[in-house]
Structure 1
Amino acid sequence: MIHLEDLCIERDGRSVLRGLQARIPRTGLTALIGPNGAGKSTLLHAMAGLLPPAQGRVMVGDTDIAAARPQHRAHLAALLTQSPMIVPRLTVSDLVGFGRWPHHRGRPDPHDRDLVQAALTEFDLQELAGRSIDSLSGGQRQRAYVAMAYAQATPWMLLDEPLSALDPRYARDIMDRLWSLSRPGPDARGVVIVLHDLGMAARYADWVLSLRDGLLVSSGPRAEVMTSRDLSDLFDTSLAVEECRGHPVVVAV
């Protein structure tokens, strides 16, 4: 479980997150939602231990993540940032292999290579393994980056807007895979994902944290947090949560 304990983050002398108190379940898919500038990406980076709190702390299991050594942090949580750099001529297999770096430090062994192959298989990238990353479509490329985070083999995957600029087919493919990976079981990953697509959050999230202006507005099971009234208040526009073919959808009204 991840605990946010009175978490306050400052950047460039400005308060970005203030007094966050919440818990995130160890398994399942957790969505971070809120308007632009709410602090979602900042929170994700704080969960990875990359932003030392001005006050409070983030506990990942029994570890104060900001106080942990970098290598230990990299064994607890894999962070995928927005718009990761594309390196020309780097193959998909090489990119996914970077996820193993915190473990082998430049000396991969058969176990590392097996995990890279498992990640390629998990995200259906076997046939693309030898292709350069800059030759792929946007959806294929994003799938490769998520596979890199998966190959890191951490209990937690922290993903910052991995659906950005993807068409519905690729966005749904990635969400289907992440949802399956997060199901309870011995190999389950805790997935925390920043989402602007409220429809995807309504369909796939088990747990939701909503933020606005650096404050935590609500935290809890998706059905409790993503209501028509609460979403309308959060985004300052009229939204409704309806049902279509057995799935919740969010529509502007």
Structure 2
Amino acid sequence: MIVVKNLTKKYGNKNVVDNISVKIPKGKITSFIGPNGAGKSTLLSVISRLIKRDNGKVFIEGKELEKWSNTDLAKKLSILKQSNHINIRLTIRELVSFGRFPYSQGNLNSEDWSYVDKAIAYMKLEEIQYKYLDQLSGGQRQRAYIAMLIAQDTEYILLDEPLNNLDMKHSVQIMKILRKLVEDLRKTVVLVVHDINFASCYSDYIVALKDGVIAKEGDINDIIDKTVLDEIYDMDFRIEDIENNKICIYF
């Protein structure tokens, strides 16, 4: 379990994350939702130790974040940032092999390559694994990055807006893959997502943020509620039950 206690992160005089405490359940998909500037990506970045907090604590499996060595943390937790820029030209296979770095330090053995092969197969990238990243569509590239995380074989997978710039088809594919990671591989997935219908249909737990604080957290029925969403987004929502999914209508 990941436990966040009284976490604060400032930019200038503004508390982007303001005294947040939250527990992220194991073996589930937890979605962070909320309007722009709510603190979702900052919270995810602090949890993953990409940026430093100003106050508060983060515990992973009961151990304070700062007490994890870089190597051990990279074997426990992986993160896919919102924008990924690699300055060297790589094939999918080469990118996925980077996921084994915490174990191999760049000298991959047969076991490492076995993880790479399995990750590529899991993401159905076998036929294009020798293509370069700059030859791929946005959806293919995102699948390649997620394959890298699968090869890294961490219990916790954090993703910052993994559906960014993807069309509807590829967004659905990615969310189905994340669901399978939880159900088949028993991973714990935490993601920032803007489309609340994806959060509604694929999450187990939702944390709704607004102005740097948690406005509401709970399961689907707790969050996908007209009164809750109207207040969080300052919009007028209608919620429909469609095939056992709660769908938000807000146009």
Which TM class, normalised by the smaller chain length?
over 0.9
Q: Does 1:223 align with 2:205?
A: no
Q: Does 1:101 align with 2:98?
A: no
Q: Does 1:127 align with 2:127?
A: yes
Give 1:189's aligned residue: 187
- 3-state SS of paired residue (1:182): helix
How far apart, CA to CA, are the structure 1 residues paired with 2:87 and 2:51?
26
How far apart, CA to CA, are the structure 2 residues paired with 1:70 and 1:42?
20
- 3-state SS of paired residue (1:164): coil
Match 2:198 to one of 170, 178, 200: 200
Give 2:66's aligned residue: 66
Give 1:10's aligned residue: 10
- 3-state SS of paired residue (2:116): helix
Q: Does 1:49 align with 2:49?
A: yes
Give 1:238's aligned residue: 236
CA contact 2:224–2:246 (8 Å) conserved in 1:
no
How far apart, CA to CA, are the structure 2 residues paired with 1:125 and 1:251?
35
Structure-2-length-normalised TM-score:
0.95
How far apart, CA to CA, are the structure 2 residues paired with 1:86 and 1:182?
28
| C-alpha distance after superposition, 1:39-64 (max 9, x if no partner) | 11111111112223222111111221
| C-alpha distance after superposition, 1:64-118 (max 9, x if no partner) | 1234222222112101001201446310000111111111111111111010111
Code of the residue aligned with 2:164 in structure 1: it is S
How far apart, CA to CA, are the structure 2 residues paired with 1:150 and 1:141?
14
Structure-1-length-normalised TM-score:
0.95
Structure 1, unpaired ranges of 5+: none
CA contact 1:82–1:161 (8 Å) conserved in 2:
yes
| C-alpha distance after superposition, 1:188-221 (max 9, x if no partner) | 1100010001110010010001111111111211
Code of the residue aligned with 1:51 in structure 2: it is I
| C-alpha distance after superposition, 1:100-143 (max 9, x if no partner) | 11111111111110101111011111111100011011111111
Residue identity over aligned pairs, in percent, reads: 34
Aligned residues: 251
Aligned-residue offset at 1:250: 1.1
How far apart, CA to CA, are the structure 1 residues paired with 2:239 and 2:58?
32
Give 1:110's aligned residue: 110
Structure 2, unpaired ranges of 5+: none
Cα 1:165–1:29, aligned 2, differ >3 Å: closer, same or farther?
same
Q: Does 1:138 align with 2:130?
A: no
Aligned-residue offset at 1:248: 1.8
CA contact 1:9–1:15 (8 Å) conserved in 2:
yes
How far apart, CA to CA, are the structure 1 residues paired with 2:53 and 2:244?
41
CA contact 1:28–1:207 (8 Å) conserved in 2:
yes
Aligned-residue offset at 1:21: 1.3
Code of the residue aligned with 1:134 in structure 2: it is D
Code of the residue aligned with 2:222 in structure 1: it is E
CA RMSD of aligned residues (A): 1.5
Give 1:156's aligned residue: 156
How far apart, CA to CA, are the structure 1 residues paired with 2:87 and 2:115?
22
Q: How does 1:159-170 map to 2 (within 5 A)?
A: 159-170=159-170
